[in-house]
Amino acid sequence: MTAYLKLDHIDKSFARGNQVSEVLKDIRLTIDKGEFVSIIGHSGCGKSTLLNLIAGLTTVSAGAVLLEDKEVDSPGPERAVVFQNHSLLPWLTVYENINLAVSKVFGRSKSKAERHDWIMRNLDLVQMAHARDKRPAEISGGMKQRVGIARALAMEPKILLLDEPFGALDALTRAHLQDAVMDIHSRLGSTTIMITHDVDEAVLLSDRIVMMTNGPAATIGEVLAVPLARPRRRIELASDRTFLRCREAVLKFLYERHRFVEAAE
Amino acid sequence: MSIQTIEDTTVKAFPAPAKPAEVIAFTAKARRRFDPIVIAGKLASALVPPAIVIALMLVVWQIACSSPTASLPPPSQVWNEAYDLIAHPFFNNGPQDIGLAWRVLISLQRVAIGFGLAAIVGVALGALVGQSIWAMRGLDPVFQILRTVPPLAWLPLSLAAFRDSSPSALFVIFITSIWPIIINTAVGVRNIPEDYRNVARILRLNQFEFFVKIMVPAAAPYIFTGLRIGIGLSWLAIVAAEMLTGGVGIGFFIWDAWNSSRLPDIIVALAYIGVTGFCLDRLVAAVGAFVTRGTTAK
């Protein structure tokens, strides 16, 4: 059986002048359809670069990203990204922001009424239908991120890529959004890759946690399966032994074996 | 036992404040948004200081030019000799003898065409320069040199090229006002956040869609800054252009008045040009503020 998404011996280096810096080295990973995978690591380990490679926003130096056995070489709506800073267009309303994506992706295959229903369905999914006519500047950070998720989902992507989606939010809003993402994942079964630096978040949401070693030339250190049944509830998990064991494993990886050393550059 | 009594009182106490009648009072307290006194106060604070300054200037001018040997006319003489021009801006006594408002309108028509072309070409060129690093390296130095050429210097060349006065005048307006539009648009396009570009790439927007849906709205604040400077420059150029090409515009009127030594007429025309230029500037600023509402806020 072939994997849904395959990262095949990926190297990535950036050249600046005649100085070449190796960011990622020999990344090998396969992800199944419907899986929720988190990528965790210290800052500067190339997590975001890895996500950009999968999104096609940057190109690999060696190796290949294969989605359903087809090589990824450019960005596209089947790999929708939710950006850390939401990236909503400030001159469009919430509805228009999603409409921009929907009319581009489904402009030919859906009628106008169908597109409208589809936009509203995705807004309902993130509970933002009430703010459809607001501009991004008029809604809170958590709400913007919800709209960002709705925009990505509205593209009906094969893979949903979340780039530290909750990094800029306060703890309470973050918990709400994590629940929303879990709910959406259970309903749609979307294959999801999430970049995070939050251990609890990784364990709570993921089927597997990919732990990155420190750069330069970072690679995958360990992959931890999280054998927790879904639906998961954060309060019950707080004292769950499997949850705590997974959490401890990630913490040990990050703070014992691959401690972050301030790079002396 | 004591606990029970407390519970009882709380249970009974809750329904009591459930319907506070005071809530209605809040609507009565809402302030009226269009209070005539507040508006009158704001108007006065905006109008009174410039009125005082203008009055003082008129007084100084009157005193300075009152001596019989003065080379320029004092305001009283302007008022007496050019009264027809001031009081009747819309008179029409045949093809060459028309009121100043008509002349301003004819000049505005020229500016509209020249500036309109400059806006279209300028935004397109600015987008190119902002998007492509090679276009910028090649074109930017040329633009930086050409933009310092004064409007009058273009006139002989354009007269030679077009062999007709009215396209030459349009060309001078166009070439004077286009540079700030190009340069500001280019800066705006270069400053489009990388995230917006990534959104466009993920959606696979083509060049045209990217231009219309991302680039122009994202760079709109910069574009309107360029347009505002540009319209000011094009109004500066109209007088230069019409002085040499003739016609019935406000610029030619000044030249004509100078040739027949009607200094008061020139002073009235200057006031017309100043007020019109001010209005044009405010108009573009207002359109810009309306179009870019919401885009500047993060």
Interface predicted TM-score (ipTM) of this complex, two decimals: 0.87
User: Which residues of chain B make contact with A57, given a CB cutoff of 8 A?
Assistant: 198, 201-202
- What is the Cα–Cα distance from B182 to B125, expressed in whole angstroms? 6
- If you write DSSP's letter for every residue of B67-105 in order, what string do you get? STT-SS--HHHHHHHTHHHHH-TT-B-SSS-B-HHHHHH
Q: What is the pLDDT of residue B224?
A: 94
Residues A190-207: tens digit of each pLDDT: 899 999 989 999 999 999
Q: Which residue has the higher pLDDT, A16 or A148?
A: A148
Instruction: Tell me how close the Cα of A87 comes to any Cα of chain B, in angstroms.
Output: 6
Residue A216 has pLDDT above 90, yes or no: no
Is the confidence at residue A149, as pLDDT, over 80?
yes
**Confidence class of residue B18 from pLDDT cuts 50, 70 and 90?**
very low
Asked if the C-beta of A87 comes within 8 angstroms of chain B's C-beta atoms, the answer is yes
Q: Higher confidence at residue A260 or residue A68?
A: A68
Neighbours of A103 (CB within 10 A): 16
pLDDT over threshold 90, residue A265: no
Residue among B198, B205, B297 whose CB faces A104 most closely: B205
Domain end, chosen from A156, A182, A202, is at: A156
Task: With cut-offs at 50, 70 and 90, classify the pLDDT of residue B115.
Answer: very high
Residue A66 structural domain:
1-78+158-227
- Over residues A104-128, mean pLDDT: 92
The arithmetic mean of pLDDT across residues B165-192, rounded, is 92
CA gap B30, B190 in Å, rounded: 46
Q: Does A168 lie at the interface with B, CB-CB under 8 angstroms?
A: no
Q: Is A156 exposed, middle or buried (0-12, 13-18, 19+ CB in 10 A)?
A: middle
What backbone torsions phi and psi does residue B210 show, to the nearest 5 degrees? -65, -45
Calculate how close chain A gets to B195, using CA atoms only, in Å.
6
Domain presence at residue A238: no
CB B174 within 8 A of CB B162: no
Task: List the Cα angle B217/A73/B216 in 5-degree steps.
Answer: 10
E strands, chain A, are 5-16, 19-31, 36-40, 62-67, 70-71, 79-82, 159-163, 191-196, 208-212, 220-225
Cβ–Cβ contact A89 with B under 8 A? yes
SS3 label, residue A140: coil
A72 touches chain B (CB under 8 A): no
Are A103 and A66 part of one and the same domain?
no
Instruction: Round the average pLDDT of chain B to a whole number and report it.
Output: 84
Q: Is residue A261 part of a domain?
A: no
Q: Does A31 lie in the same domain as A64? A: yes
Q: How many CB atoms are located within 10 Å of the residue A204 CB?
A: 23
A159 reaches B (C-beta below 8 A): no
Mutate to test the interface with A, among B202, B293, B298 (most CBs of A within 10 A): B202
Task: Kindly give the interhelix angle for B216-245 and B165-190, rounded to the nearest 10 degrees.
Answer: 160
What is the spatial distance between Cα B296 and Cα A136, in angstroms, rounded to a whole number?
Answer: 11
Tell me how far apart the alpha carbons of residues B205 and A49 are, in angstroms, rounded to a whole number: 23
> What average pLDDT does range B222-250 have in this prediction?
87
Cα B66 to chain centroid distance, Å, stands at 37
**Which residues of chain B are within 8 Å of residue A76 when distances are taken between CB atoms?**
202, 204
Domain presence at residue A245: no
Judge if A74 and A163 occupy the same domain.
yes
Question: Exposed e or buried b for every residue in A127-150, given b needs 16+ CB within 10 A?
Answer: ebbebbeebbeebeebbbbbbbbb
pLDDT at A105: 92
Using the predicted structure, report yes or no on whether residue B1 has a pLDDT greater than 90. no
CATH number at residue A189: 3.40.50.300
Query: What tokens were used for A26?
Result: 């020999």
**Which amino acid belongs to residue B261?**
S
Residue A182: pLDDT above 80?
yes
State the average pLDDT over residues A205-212.
Answer: 94
Same domain for A73 and A106? no
Task: Note the pLDDT of residue B10.
Answer: 44
CA-based nearest residue in chain A for residue B205: A104
Taking CB atoms and an 8 Å limit, are B294 and A80 in contact across chains?
no
Phi, psi of B63, deg, nearest 5: -65, -45
- Can you count the helices (H) and strands (E) in chain B? 14, 0
* Same domain, yes or no: A129 and A178: no
Shortest Cα distance, chain A CAs vs residue B113, angstroms:
29
Look at residues A104, A138, A156 and tell me which one is the last residue of a structural domain: A156
B14-18, B116-120, B142-146: which range is least confident on average? B14-18
Residue B41 predicted with pLDDT over 80 = yes
Q: Evaluate whether residue A83 is within a structural domain.
A: no
pLDDT-derived band at B82 (thresholds 50, 70, 90) equals confident
The average pLDDT across A54-79 equals 91
Do B294 and A100 make contact, defined as CB atoms within 8 angstroms?
no
How distant, in Å, are the alpha carbons of A17, A197, A206, A250 from that of A241? Answer: 51, 22, 16, 14
**pLDDT 10s digits, B211-233:** 999 999 999 999 999 999 999 99
Residue A260 makes CB contacts below 8 A (sequence gap 6+) with A42, A43, A214, A254
| B19 vs A216, more confident | A216
Query: What contacts B295, CB < 8 A, 6 or more positions away?
Result: A90, A91, B217, B218, B220, B221
Is residue A195 included in any domain, yes or no?
Answer: yes
Nearest residue on chain B to A154, alpha-carbon basis:
B203
Residues of chain B contacting residue A135, judged by C-beta atoms under 8 Å apart = 294, 297
Least reliable range by pLDDT among B33-42, B117-126, B138-147: B33-42
Same domain (yes/no): A5, A71: yes
pLDDT, position B32: 57
Query: Which DSSP state fits B14?
Result: T
Which of A109-118, A162-171, B28-37, B39-48 has the weakest average pLDDT?
Answer: B28-37
The DSSP output letter for A218 is B
The alpha carbon of residue A160 is apart from the nearest alpha carbon of chain B, in Å, by 12
State residue A52's pLDDT score.
92
Q: Does the structure show a pLDDT above 90 at B96? A: no
Q: If you average pLDDT over residues B81-91, what whole number do you get?
A: 82
Average pLDDT over residues B75-99: 81
Q: Which residue of A73, A97, A104 is the best one to mutate when testing the B interface, meaning the one whose CB has the most B CBs within 10 A?
A: A104
Residue A71's CB is within 10 A of a number of other CB atoms, namely 11
In a domain, A216, yes or no: yes
pLDDT score of A261 = 66
Same domain? A104 vs A210: no
Same domain? A143 vs A180: no
Query: How far from B181 is each of A78, B135, B148, CA to CA, in Å?
Result: 38, 16, 14
Statement: residue A144 has pLDDT above 90: yes
Nearest residue, CB atoms, A55 vs list B202, B203, B292? B202
Chain A residues lying within 8 Å of B297, measured CB to CB: 90, 135, 137
Shared-domain flag, residues A74 and A169: yes
* H or E segment and range at residue B191: none
- Specify the pLDDT at position B27: 46
A265 part of a folded domain: no
What is the pTM (predicted TM-score) of this model?
0.78
Longest C-alpha distance within chain B, in Å?
111
pLDDT at residue A53 is higher than 90: yes
Rounded to a whole number, what is the distance in Å from the CA of B229 to chain A's nearest CA?
24
Q: Which of A109, A140, A156 marks a domain boundary?
A: A156
A74 and A8 within one domain: yes
User: How far is it, in rounded angstroms, from Cα B245 to Cα B123?
Assistant: 28
Same domain, A1 and A74: yes
Whether residue A169 sits in one domain with residue A59? yes
CA distance B215 to chain A (A): 11
Looking at the structure of chain A, the number of domains it has is: 2
Please name the residues between 170 and 229 in chain B that touch chain A, using a CB distance below 8 Å.
193, 195-196, 198-199, 201-205, 209, 213-214, 217-218, 220
**Which of B195, B197, B201, B203 should one mutate to test binding to chain A, selecting the residue with the greatest count of A CBs within 10 A?**
B203
Question: C-alpha A188: how far from its chain's center?
Answer: 15
Domain contains A241: no
Task: Say which of B196, B209, B298 has its CB closest to residue A89.
Answer: B196
Q: What is the pLDDT of residue A131?
A: 92
Other C-beta atoms closer than 10 Å to the C-beta of B92 total 10
Structure tokens at B222: 């910069």
